[in-house]
Amino acid sequence: MEEKELIEKAQTGDRRALSDLIKKYEQTVYNFSFKICRNKEKAENTMQETFLSMVKSLGQFSGNSKLSTWLYTVVSNHCLMMARAQKKHEFAPIEDEESLIDEKDVADWSISPGKIAENNELKEILDSAISKLEPEYRIIFLLRDVEGFSTEETGEMVKLSVPAVKSRLHRARAFLRNELNKSLKYGNA
Amino acid sequence: METHKIHCKEVMSHICDNIGEESDSPRCKEIKAHLEKCECCQKYFKSIDSTIKFYKEYNIEINEDMHNRLMDFLDKHECDRQ
């Protein structure tokens, strides 16, 4: 059944349609929540709150935008709200774009993408690096680069202008690359 | 030598700005030409590209217990039984 039809049926109280909608998106929502929170318990909590918002707001959902986009927006906002309660010093200060790039600190990496599922050491390195990045930057990187939304779509979701998204994305990419470079360049892994 | 270093930094900055976005602008052509012959910038490009791929490929699965807890939380468990 198409998403539009599922939403229309769920809006009229069709329980099976609601269950199908939840099943259709629970993996995406949980995975994205984890990618932001890097904590399974917080990710599950975010998933639950996100679907609670969906159930409450389904009646007003017009279908002008995709439900998945709306869910990504809710997850992003929920995670940002949780992160603002955290202490600022838990995150590394983001330097200006100029200082983030050191053309002398370039090396081959000891590992290539792929087979991440079996590599717990790499997962720890990835978790540690992204956890240092301020959530406002982390969410932009995840929406744009990992989930594949356009710069414009990302801006709409987090209510930022295109230049602001681009600036944060630039810094997030360079910051994460620098953090991973410390652990993954040859001789360090 | 100094000019080359400045140029590399510009190229690396351009990579951070534009990776994943194709453009045929004169500046992009210049960057691509530099990338083809500069090993240092190729390594930087590869490290940015790998950074993105690592996070793309690092996924976790939801399990049945989690789905059941979600339906309990929503008080919609009966929906699964329809």
Query: Quick one: pLDDT at residue B3?
Result: 44
Residue-wise pLDDT for B36-76, tens only, equals: 899 999 999 999 999 999 999 999 999 999 999 999 999 88
Question: What is the pLDDT averaged over residues A24-49?
Answer: 95
**Which range has highest mean pLDDT (A1-10, A94-103, A133-142, A179-188)?**
A133-142
Q: Give Rg (Cα) of chain B.
A: 23
Neighbours of A139 (CB within 10 A): 27
Q: Model confidence at B5, in pLDDT bands (50, 70, 90)?
A: very low
Query: Quick one: pLDDT at residue A28?
Result: 97
Asked if A53 and A74 touch (Cβ cutoff 8 Å), the reply is yes
Report chain B residues whose CB lies below 8 A from the CB of A52: 73-74
Q: Do B78 and A15 touch (CB under 8 A)?
A: yes
The ipTM estimated for the assembled molecules is 0.90
Query: Quick one: pLDDT at residue A89?
Result: 63
Query: Quick one: pLDDT at residue A12?
Result: 92
Question: What is the pLDDT averaged over residues A179-188?
Answer: 83
What are the structure tokens assigned to A128, written together?
């540690």
Report chain B residues whose CB lies below 8 A from the CB of A106: 40, 43-44, 47
Question: What is the pLDDT averaged over residues A43-70?
Answer: 90
Distance in angstroms (rounded) separating the CA atoms of residues B43 and B65: 44
CA angle, corner B37, sides to B36 and B38, nearest 5?
105
Q: Could you give the angle at which helices A151-158 and A162-184 cross, rounded to 10 degrees? A: 100
Q: Do A48 and B71 touch (CB under 8 A)?
A: no
Question: What is the pLDDT averaged over residues A24-40?
Answer: 95
Q: Do A52 and B78 touch (CB under 8 A)?
A: no
Query: Quick one: pLDDT at residue A87?
Result: 67
Mutate to test the interface with B, among A12, A16, A31, A177 (most CBs of B within 10 A): A177
B1 has a chain A CB within 8 A of its CB: no
Mutate to test the interface with A, among B1, B3, B62 (most CBs of A within 10 A): B62
Of B45, B47, B39, B46, the C-alpha closest to B4 is B39
Query: Quick one: pLDDT at residue B2?
Result: 41
Distances (CA, A) of A168 to A18, A39, A73, A89, A151: 36, 23, 17, 19, 11
Among residues of chain B, what percentage have pLDDT more than 70?
90
Asked if A122 and A116 touch (Cβ cutoff 8 Å), the reply is yes
Distance from CA of B15 to the nearest CA of A (A): 9
| Res A173 pLDDT > 60 | yes
Residue-wise pLDDT for A97-145, tens only, equals: 778 888 888 888 888 787 777 788 999 999 999 999 999 999 999 999 9
Total-model pTM: 0.90
